[in-house]
Amino acid sequence: MIGRLNHVAIAVPDLEAACAQYRGALGANVGEPQDEPDHGVTVVFIELPNTKIEFLYPLGDNSPIAGFLEKNPAGGIHHICYEVEDIEVARDKLLAEGARVLGDIKIGAHNKPVLFLHPKDFNGCLVELEQV
């Protein structure tokens, strides 16, 4: 059901410093910050030949990333995102298998439908699915 790895998301306490580090030390192609108010984050994508890295930074006081950074002040991996052909079919199959879907299908940073799966159902890892 899952396709390729779309991105690995890293919550960062200082977005500018993280971008500068990847741009300078690693020579990465770093995109521009993009506010995602529906998700409470500002994101920056780093393009790699085989996938992307997504920096997550809190946007507003109710950002879920703010809570993550309180527990992990240095930042850290927040989630991984896999591509799926049909997000509704994937959701229904996962629910039938007993997986917990967090919230409803929303439009993500790539303007495509996304949903999240409970980390306790996937070896402690928050999983995002994105329809391609």
Total domains in the chain come to 1
Residue-wise pLDDT for 34-48, tens only, equals 999 989 999 999 999
* Position 13, amino acid: P
Report pTM: 0.94
The catalytic residue among 36, 54, 85, 128 is 128
User: What is residue 17's three-state secondary structure?
Assistant: helix
125 confidence band (pLDDT: 50, 70, 90): very high
- What span, in angstroms and rounded, lies between the C-alpha atoms of 20 and 2? 32
Q: What pLDDT sits at residue 7?
A: 98
* Position 34, amino acid: Q
Residue-wise pLDDT for 77-118, tens only, equals 999 999 999 999 999 999 999 999 999 999 999 999 999 999
Backbone angles phi, psi at 24, to 5 degrees: -85, -65
Q: What pLDDT sits at residue 61?
A: 81
Q: What pLDDT sits at residue 62?
A: 87
Q: What pLDDT sits at residue 118?
A: 98
Record the tokens describing residue 37, joined without a space.
């108010």
Q: What pLDDT sits at residue 28?
A: 97
Could you tell me the residue range of the domain that residue 97 belongs to?
Answer: 5-131
Residue-wise pLDDT for 55-82, tens only, equals 999 998 889 999 999 999 999 999 999 9
* CATH code, 42: 3.10.180.10
Measured torsion, CA atoms of residues 12, 119, 41, 31, in degrees rounded to the nearest 10: 60
Strands 52-58, 5-11: pairing is parallel
Q: Does the annotation mark 128 as catalytic?
A: yes
